[in-house]
Amino acid sequence: MSSENRASANPESSIGQNLLQISGPALIAPAAGLIIAVLLAIFILSTPAQDRHEQQMIDSATSSVEARINGREEQLTAAATSIRLTQLIATDDEAERTLEEARLRKMIPDAIRVRLFKLREAKVDQSANPPFGYTSVDMIDRVEIGQPVRAEAVNAQGRWLLSLTAPIRALSDLTIRGSLFIYLDPIALADTLDDGQQGHTRILQTIAVSKT
């Protein structure tokens, strides 16, 4: 029997061969699509995980810098409420005040400049190094009337600094005698960040707006 006769005699085998010939390529496409779908699923699932890891690193670094700033504020408050400083600010000895400012600058890590002011003595001084501007004077004005003042970012001639201030007063006396003010180096505060994090570090400042 010829091959044509065998094919016609067994139509199911002919149909089966045709199905196999068609099904081969037809099955490859869904399989490839499945592989691509799995790869996309892995990518989609891994991207949020990577983002979460990076966010955790950022949060950890932010907490580290914030802890350092809090530590400097505690040091500032301790110095501002010391007997040594409350007695010094009551005198008019400018030389002693200058020496004390230099001593505090060495004592407080990352401090660039320390200023001591009697009550209502702070004035804008753009010739100072770093310049003592309106933002710094406003911080002192607020702290001298008993308002809580947190660290603020100050742009001093193109250089970003972190400014902190605390009222000078005795622990046993709520009377404010003056103010202790320092400029900190924000880059030194962030030295725990790795190179990649430092490349994406920005100074963000929150301004509270009260509703009227």
Query: Residues 74-107: pLDDT tens digits?
Result: 889 999 999 999 999 999 899 999 999 999 999 8
Percentage of the chain lying above the pLDDT 70 cut: 61
Q: What is the pLDDT of residue 156?
A: 82
In a domain, 190, yes or no: yes
The CATH number for 161's domain is 3.30.450.20
In a domain, 48, yes or no: no
Interval 157-177: pLDDT, tens: 888 889 999 999 998 888 999
In a domain, 13, yes or no: no
In a domain, 19, yes or no: no
Q: How far apart are the first and last CA of the chain?
A: 103
Q: What is the pLDDT of residue 190?
A: 65
Model confidence at 136, pLDDT cuts 50, 70, 90, reads very high
Compute the average pLDDT of residues 48-70: 72
Range of the domain at 148: 54-199
In a domain, 159, yes or no: yes
Pairing type for strands 159-168 and 178-184 reads antiparallel
In a domain, 47, yes or no: no
Rg (CA), the chain: 35
**Domain total of the chain:** 1
In a domain, 24, yes or no: no
